[in-house]
Amino acid sequence: MTPASPADPDPAGDEHDDTTPHRLDTPPAAAGDGPVVEVHGSSGIAFQLGGSHNTQHIHQPAPPPPIPRGSDLPRDIAEFTGRHDELQRLVETAQAGRTPLITIHTVDGMPGVGKTALATRAAHLLTDRYPDGHRFVRLNTHTTTPAQPATVLAELLRSLGIDPRNIPDSIDERASMWRDRLAGRRMLLVLDDAATAAQVEPLIPANRECLVIITSRRRLLDLDGARPLPLAPMPPDQAAELFVRLSRRTPTPGDQPAIDKAVDLCGHLPLAITILAARLAVQAAWTITEFVDEVAASQDRLGELEAGDRAVNTAFDFSYHHLGPDLQRLYRRLGLHPGPDTDPYATAALDNIPHDLARRRLRELHTLHLIDEPAPRRYRLHDLLRHYAHIHTHHDPPHERDQALTRLLDYYTHTAQQADHHLTHTPLHISRCRPYLADRDQAQTWMRDEHTILLAAAHHAAARAWPHAFLLAHALAAHLDQDGHWTDAATLHHTAAHTARALGDRHVEAGALADLGWVRRRAGDFGEAARLAQQAYDLYTALGNRQGQAYALLDLGQVRRLTGDYGEAGLLAQQAHDLFTTLGNRQGQAYALLDLGRVRRATGDYEGAGQLAQQAYDLFTALGSRHGQANTLQLMGQTSTQQGNFPQAADLLARSRALFHDVGDPQGEAETLNATGDLHTATHQRHAALDTYQQALTLARQVNSPIDEARALEGTARAHHALGHHQQAITSLREAVTIYQRIGAAETGPATTYLHKLETEHPQP
């Protein structure tokens, strides 16, 4: 029902009540003077207006009684699809007994999510439970003519058969009459498109045997006694089913990808799906795939979602224009954000407002269903609403958009640099940064939470050739390395190098190439790692950057060692050590000593390796580098194993693993577990060895470290062989050899020889 206009009060006041006599135009006679007039109203009750003599009887004809309406629900939706759980929640409480367990339901959600359709469907399923009537009230909040509660109450009272002349003027009296008339009745009331709790409160019956379903784009948090039902976009399978039903097509299995793409373009929003499917239904000459490809190619995505008087853009417009100027500006700027979600800190930077104010405004937008909160303090725009907000950013001057983006990228860069300080123990040159990251755990948590956004921010900056691209790439290097995000890291560092080259910053370009080489080495691409390290070294040499040269020598030497070129690896590590010593870089010296020790161990000089490792450990301890200590303890444990000092090896490797765990380096922990497995093998603890190698294998795969994965598989094979599990040993060793060969590791030859021996001695049955 669409509420009628307010009951027009009679100029004479409220004498039109059917229990009140109508006034005569002639003035009443004084007591004892003139005739007594008896007026009969519609109630048939007589009232004296004169003296006690010469009484006249005037009969006023009563107006015909209004006819109460039984139901004015909109027609049921024949093609209603999905929403099984939501319907059950609405229906089950009304069917639990004579009195519903819940008498007020609020169905809230973003524009176009299908709130009205769900409420209508539920109401039709419940009609037999409410014999005294069903009312559907369009509050029209998001139209040009929103309904007023007083007007709605007047129409509701008329629908019960109340004479319009008997409806009081004040909203409180109308609400009281409405509740009084519903006492003892079982009625179902749907209040569609409510603005606030205050708007619907006067319309809610006091009788618990009545059921009220309210739809709203706002979360009605302050409506006491209501059971909220937030409505999200449809699940993919239900969205696809709705699209097929409304498009009147019989899809083939080959059409499914196009159908999935169609509902993705609609953001799984029922209104959008309905519009797009209706368009397809009348375009019989088009296949589903042709139609969807045409829509996907459009630059005006929201423009595609229009059909007749239905348009997703229009639905969004009403919500947007109900916002105040500050919220509109913030909403537009959220459309500039390059990542999938945001938090109050980033939002504060984007909109140049205090953190607490950003938090409050995000909560308000969340209450209005213009943004979602998929996790605490993480806010995200629906895909179509993001597109809508981005379009509206063009209402702002270009310099304001650039300033907002610069603030946002500054925030991410500075905070990433602060987090990187905790992950790498490098000096921090940031004067102020929010949020405050007190330690490594907080830094690591922040990096992981913001991982996707930081990558998006860096690539967004690169597209604009802004320096944030390489600043973010460098700040993210340790995080990406420690968590094994090789693909992300490679793409990011390549982009950073390209951006630096475009901006003419050769020093930054060299650093990005060095970072990219490091990633390629960790990912097992040793050939590319060597090429990039050499390229970085050449560029640093041309620039006269001796610090960069030393680190590039160190990187190149590590690749040479991993590929078995121990002579070249030793020379490069020694050159790096000498250069670091000249420059007074003690941390560089320590890492060069560590690498020299690893080369000595690989060539069988265990005593020399142990001495170099001890020197490196002392330097790392003086510098407070726990990560460096963990690496040197690992090398010292390995040399102790090979020298037969097993108790000392066990202690050193346990300390190394604990430090790697504490500093959050699972790849280093995998290396140490492999070394511990070697110790168990040397001491004939075969089951312990097998278990330890399996732990190393799990960690290596988690961080995508192929060299550690191959070493764990080879160790597993040796443990299985020692236990007599020959076929399991062969299977594991074949996997290890495949990885060794792919990355060109030094272990390829010995592992291949061992595999041939096993296959010869234990042929498969």
Give me the pLDDT at residue 46, please: 34
Give me the pLDDT at residue 483, please: 82
Lowest mean pLDDT among 150-154, 174-178, 418-422, 509-513: 418-422
Give me the pLDDT at residue 718, please: 95
**Distance, CA of 37 to CA of 29 (rounded, Å):** 10
**Distance, CA of 447 to CA of 459 (rounded, Å):** 16
Cβ neighbors of 529 (< 8 A, separation 6 or more) are: 517, 518, 520, 521, 555, 559
**E strands, 224-335, in order:** 227-230, 306-307, 310-311
Please list the residues that pair with 194 across neighbouring strands.
Answer: 216
Based on the number of CB atoms within 10 Å of its own CB, is 397 exposed (0-12), middle (13-18) or buried (19 or more)?
A: exposed
Quote the tokens at residue 62: 């009563």
Lowest mean pLDDT among 137-146, 168-177, 463-472: 137-146
Domain with CATH 1.25.40.10 in the chain: 665-765
Per-residue pLDDT reduced to its tens digit, 294-309:
999 988 888 888 877 7
In this prediction, residues 681-703 reach a mean pLDDT of 95
In this prediction, residues 578-590 reach a mean pLDDT of 95
In this prediction, residues 189-212 reach a mean pLDDT of 92
In this prediction, residues 56-85 reach a mean pLDDT of 69
Helices (H) and strands (E) in the chain, counts: 33, 12
**Distance, CA of 99 to CA of 95 (rounded, Å):** 9
Residue 154 confidence class, pLDDT cut points 50, 70, 90: very high
Domain with CATH 1.10.10.10 in the chain: 323-396
**Distance, CA of 14 to CA of 5 (rounded, Å):** 18
**∠ at Cα 253 (250, 255), nearest 5°?**
70
Cis peptide leading into 65, omega within 30 of 0? Answer: no
Residue 67 confidence class, pLDDT cut points 50, 70, 90: very low
Quote the tokens at residue 207: 């009788």
- Does residue 274 have a pLDDT over 80? yes
**Distance, CA of 597 to CA of 591 (rounded, Å):** 10
Helix (H, G, I), strand (E, B) or coil at 624: coil
- Does residue 529 have a pLDDT over 50? yes
Quote the tokens at residue 644: 């037969």
DSSP string, 352-376: T--HHHHHHHHHHHHHTTSSEEEET
In this prediction, residues 481-506 reach a mean pLDDT of 90
Quote the tokens at residue 34: 């003139």
Please list the residues that pair with 71 across neighbouring strands.
Answer: 134
Give me the pLDDT at residue 430, please: 45
pTM: 0.75
Q: Are strands 188-194 and 134-138 parallel, antiparallel or unpaired?
A: parallel
CATH superfamily of 665-765: Tetratricopeptide repeat domain (1.25.40.10)
Residue 91 confidence class, pLDDT cut points 50, 70, 90: confident
* Residue among 235, 229, 233, 180 nearest 206 (CA): 180
- Taking each helix axis from N to C end, the angle separating 666-682 and 686-702, rounded to the nearest 10 degrees, works out to 160
Quote the tokens at residue 421: 């300080």
Cβ neighbors of 483 (< 8 A, separation 6 or more) are: 448, 666, 703
- Does residue 632 have a pLDDT over 90? yes
CATH architecture assignment, domain 323-396: Orthogonal Bundle (1.10)
Q: Mean pLDDT across the chain, nearest whole number? A: 86
Per-residue pLDDT reduced to its tens digit, 544-564:
999 999 999 999 999 999 999
Give me the pLDDT at residue 289, please: 93
Give me the pLDDT at residue 343, please: 94
Give me the pLDDT at residue 8, please: 36
> Which own/partner pairs from 577-583 qualify as long-range (CB within 8 Å, at least 24 positions apart)?
579/546, 579/549, 579/550, 579/553, 580/550, 582/546, 583/546, 583/547, 583/550
CATH superfamily of 84-230: P-loop containing nucleotide triphosphate hydrolases (3.40.50.300)
Residue 240 confidence class, pLDDT cut points 50, 70, 90: very high
**Distance, CA of 273 to CA of 275 (rounded, Å):** 5
Domain with CATH 3.40.50.300 in the chain: 84-230
Please list the residues that pair with 475 across neighbouring strands.
Answer: none
